[in-house]
Amino acid sequence: MRCLILKFLCFLVIIFGILNNSFSQAIELTGAGATFPQPVILAWAYQYYKQTKVKINYQGIGSGGGIRQAQERIVDFGASDKPLTSEELRKYNLVQFPDIIGAVVITYNLPGSKDFLLNLDHKAICDIYLGKIKNWNDPYLKKLNPKVNLPDLPIIVVRRSDASGTSWLFTTYLSKACSEWKEKVGAGTAVNWPVGIGAKGNPGVTNYVKQNIGTIGYVEFIYAKQNNLPMANLLNADGTAFVKPSIKSMQAAASNAKWEIEKNFFVDLTYQPGKNSYPITGASYILIPLDNPKAKEVTKFFKWAFEKGDKIAENLYYIPLPDKLVHLIYKYWEKYKIAP
């Protein structure tokens, strides 16, 4: 009898050990970077956990932080709205692929601004962010918006304080569209801003604009949508029409993009030609260290997102990747032996 009890106790110890070990080995992934895709990554992660019990922790710290943390192996994956060159990827033994397409919009807070949409061209935006246009009733702004009673208010310029892929998209657009901006400031995740109040992340810029009359700022489309902020219509690259930021106008800008495995999907979607192309469209990218033992778990998560997360993305006003691009990404993963 005593022998049977001892055998039973040994059996329980073994079972408890197996269960305890399985719990201790539960998969958990960490990611950090761009605030641009943060809402959709968090939404995907929530549903993925419900289905797989794999936990994904993602922090929106800006694209610069995401690039740095991926380079330094602090996270399992980084996210950046500024794609890295093939040389940069080789230097840090990283791979990259797009995960979502969105846009940067110009938002503002004026008396009665929910009742009208401003028309802005590249010259107006450039001059505002260079500090040359200082007042909302400036003659040039009135010329672009003859039917709007623009107030006699100083323009409070808001921009990002952190290294940001959203800033990269915005300043890349300005550098293409405005020669003076290109010469004096240039493009980058962080630049020497001539004017403006700095705010951290898309949420920081959104909140500052939302709470202060007379402000203008640039944020990712979803942040303006979720906070019911107005978004300016921007003159297209052809100079023929003011284009409203929308899923349709972002798709128009992305339609002619040439995605190539050989270039690690490096594509710039800003200031694309076409009557209906929104000029500050961009893709967000995922960075994975090739020596990360969890690399295949990361690609497994994004494979699930590409195949089951499109509706989630659309509900958050993002554009899911086209099927052709998704299949190219799968081939890219196979090339680097990180396919799930």
**Structure-block tokens of residue 226:** 């979720």
pTM (2 d.p.): 0.84
| Per-residue exposure over 179-207, b if at least 16 CB sit within 10 Å of its own CB, e if not | eebbeebebbbbbebeebeebbbbbbbbb
Position 1 scores a pLDDT of 52
Q: Residue 260: how many CA atoms within 13 Å on its side-chain side?
A: 8
**Structure-block tokens of residue 98:** 């797009």
Judged by DSSP in three states, 289 sits in strand
* Closest alpha carbon to 169 in 294, 242, 253: 253
Q: CA 217, CA 204: separation in Å to the nearest integer?
A: 10
Whether 151 and 207 have beta carbons less than 8 Å apart is answered as no
| Per-residue exposure over 308-330, b if at least 16 CB sit within 10 Å of its own CB, e if not | ebbebbeebbbbbbeeebbebbe
Predicted confidence pLDDT, tens digits, the chain (340 residues)? 544 444 444 444 444 444 444 443 579 999 999 999 999 999 999 999 999 999 999 999 999 999 999 999 999 999 999 999 999 999 999 999 999 999 999 999 999 887 889 999 999 999 999 999 999 999 999 999 999 999 999 999 999 999 899 999 999 999 999 999 999 999 999 999 999 999 999 999 999 999 999 999 999 999 999 999 999 999 999 999 999 999 999 999 998 789 999 999 999 999 999 999 999 999 999 999 999 999 999 999 999 999 999 999 999 999 999 999 999 999 999 999 999 9
Q: Residue 166 region, left (φ>0) first, then alpha (ψ -120 to 50), else beta?
A: alpha
DSSP for residue 322: P
SS3 track for 78-106: EEECCCCCHHHHHHCCEEEEEEEEEEEEE
Q: Which residues contact 292 (CB under 8 A, 6 or more apart)?
A: 73, 76, 77, 298
Through-space distance between the first and last CA atoms of the chain, rounded to whole angstroms: 50
Whether 177 and 237 have beta carbons less than 8 Å apart is answered as yes
Longest dimension (CA), the chain: 99
